[in-house]
């Protein structure tokens, strides 16, 4: 057998997804998810329910790999919220219910100039549990890409001091805001390194609060982009692959996102994929962009297939939900998504 053909036959989901994220040649476009994967149907089938799966490493690992086992989605992806770092930095978190993800209920810092990286950061809150779940997935699923999501620096800063307050302060107290975002970046770098050391292949900072729907592209460019660059560099230096996810209509910051140094960008259906490809070229690669909130959650399998085919035709590198999978998304629709790429 010629070496190239032999290699194609030997591709594991891990090889396929990681190569595709890096923009290397693969046998077919992988079907994966870099955003939240916990669904109510999968919780029942794996007996790993929310809210327990947010803090029990065994349950977190079981649910994180559930859509691979039940539908063939090429991913082991944890955790299922964007509150782990906020909690470790002192924010009280409501752990939610069976179909409601955890949320930050109060900010940890009344005094914005008192924000600091707590000593023993990696031992705080649920950080040790996510690290343990990463180790479990790595040792049990050597052929799957292990992906871990986390709050992006600006979203984390918003959790700590309140997003409205942070936005208002960007006008008059820019230095103070920059200082908070800088501390959040340092926290994220430390956490990302520990996750990679525990066996994570892919780190996915999700920074919804930095979306142009909330923040001006100019502020993104001057305040958030340099911090994301720092984070991307730290992930890659440690040997991980970085995927940046920002929700919503990110067209106006697409070029800046591409210049952050992340290997790949995860985008929603609100972004025209062909236009994004035309704007940024082959790298970073693009992950997405089947509508999680509409098509996957509420649509019929035919509609999922139709939208997936559109993304494939537009040149998506990794076919995936555009944002976090809604907990009540039918498994049938995940199977339809997986069946599209052959």
- Say if CB 93 and CB 99 are below 8 A apart: no
- Say if CB 25 and CB 282 are below 8 A apart: no
Query: What whole-number distance in Å separates Cα of residue 107 and Cα of residue 167?
Result: 15
Does 323 engage in binding with Zn ion (CB under 5 A)? yes
**Which residues on adjacent β-strands are paired with residue 202?**
147, 241
Shortest distance, CB of residue 213 to Zn ion, whole angstroms?
11
Shortest distance, CB of residue 19 to Zn ion, whole angstroms?
24
Judged by CB, which is closer to Zn ion: 63, or 247? 247
- Stretch of residues binding Zn ion (CB under 5 A), selected from 97-105, 156-164, 211-219, 320-328: 320-328
Query: What whole-number distance in Å separates Cα of residue 329 and Cα of residue 129?
Result: 26
Tell me how far CA of residue 70 lies from CA of 141, 255, 278, 334, in angstroms: 15, 37, 35, 9
- Applying CB under 5 A, the site for Zn ion has a residue count of 2
Does 247 engage in binding with Zn ion (CB under 5 A)? yes
Residue 149: enclosing H or E segment and its boundaries? strand 146-151
Q: Is 91 helix (H, G, I), strand (E, B) or coil?
A: coil
CA angle 150, 155, 159 (to 5 degrees): 100
Judged by CB, which is closer to Zn ion: 137, or 267? 267
Judged by CB, which is closer to Zn ion: 71, or 247? 247
Shortest distance, CB of residue 208 to Zn ion, whole angstroms?
6
Tokens linked to 245: 């996810």
Query: What whole-number distance in Å separates Cα of residue 1 and Cα of residue 4?
Result: 8
- Stretch of residues binding Zn ion (CB under 5 A), selected from 51-59, 70-78, 126-134, 321-329: 321-329
- Stretch of residues binding Zn ion (CB under 5 A), selected from 69-77, 197-205, 247-255, 281-289: 247-255
Shortest distance, CB of residue 246 to Zn ion, whole angstroms?
7
Shortest distance, CB of residue 191 to Zn ion, whole angstroms?
20
Does 244 engage in binding with Zn ion (CB under 5 A)? no
Residues that bind Zn ion (CB under 5 A): 247, 323
């Amino acid at each position: 057998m010629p070496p190239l053909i032999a290699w194609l036959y030997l591709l594991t989901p891990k090889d396929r997804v990681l190569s595709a994220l890096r923009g290397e040649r693969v046998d077919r476009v992988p079907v994966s998810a870099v955003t939240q994967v916990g669904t109510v149907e999968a919780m029942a089938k794996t007996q790993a329910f929310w809210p327990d799966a947010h803090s029990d490493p065994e349950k977190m690992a079981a649910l994180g790999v559930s859509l691979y086992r039940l539908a063939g989605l090429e991913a082991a992806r944890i955790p299922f919220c964007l509150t782990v770092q906020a909690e470790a930095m002192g924010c009280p978190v409501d752990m939610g219910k069976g179909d409601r993800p955890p949320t930050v209920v109060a900010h940890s810092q009344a005094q914005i100039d008192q924000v600091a990286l707590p000593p023993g950061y990696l031992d705080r809150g649920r950080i040790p549990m996510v690290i343990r779940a990463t180790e479990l997935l790595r040792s049990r699923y050597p052929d799957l890409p292990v992906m871990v999501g986390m709050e992006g620096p600006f979203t984390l800063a918003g959790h700590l001091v309140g997003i409205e307050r942070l936005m208002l302060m960007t006008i008059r107290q820019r230095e103070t805001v920059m200082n908070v975002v800088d501390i959040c970046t340092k926290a994220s770098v430390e956490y990302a390194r520990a996750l990679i050391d525990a066996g994570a292949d892919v780190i996915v900072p999700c920074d919804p609060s930095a979306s142009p729907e909330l923040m001006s592209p100019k502020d993104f460019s001057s305040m958030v982009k340099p911090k994301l660059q720092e984070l991307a560099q730290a992930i890659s230096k440690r040997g991980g692959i970085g995927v940046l996810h920002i929700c919503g209509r990110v067209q106006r910051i697409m070029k800046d996102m591409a210049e952050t140094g992340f290997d790949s960008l995860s985008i929603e259906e609100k972004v025209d994929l062909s236009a994004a490809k035309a704007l940024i070229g082959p790298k970073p690669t693009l992950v997405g962009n089947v509508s999680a909130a509409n098509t996957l959650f509420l649509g019929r399998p035919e509609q999922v297939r139709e939208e997936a085919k559109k993304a494939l035709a537009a040149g998506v590198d990794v076919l995936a939900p555009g944002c976090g999978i809604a907990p009540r998304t039918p498994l049938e629709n995940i199977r339809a998504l997986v069946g599209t790429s052959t």
